[in-house]
Amino acid sequence: MLWSLWILVVVANASPVLDTLPESLLPGLALMAPLQLDAWALLVLVMLFSLFDGLVSPVLHRLGVRKRPW
């Protein structure tokens, strides 16, 4: 049990993209109808959010706002 928990922690720390996908995809799916978004617009929003998060997170880490750079 402890071994599998350790693997989850290592995988989560090694793949920040897997963390940003649900953060942007789930709200995007929930707002597709009210905002009249199609699948391509949602894909662009998810990609932009992931890119923005990837670029801003290291800067926030250097400024001391975040404890980890991802």
Do residues 42 and 28 touch, judged by C-beta distance below 8 A?
Answer: yes
Element (H, E) at 60: helix 39-62
pLDDT tens digits, one per residue of 22-67: 888 999 999 999 999 999 999 999 999 988 888 888 888 888 887 7
Confidence of residue 2 (pLDDT cuts 50, 70, 90): very low
Q: Comparing C-alpha atoms, which of 57, 31, 56, 55 is closest to residue 45?
A: 31
Structure-block tokens of residue 65: 């706002």
Mean pLDDT of 4-23: 62
- pTM > 0.85: yes or no: no
pLDDT of residue 32: 94
Where in the chain are the domains?
18-70
Max CA-CA distance within the chain?
45
Query: What residues have CB less than 8 Å from 32, skipping those under 6 apart?
Result: 38, 42
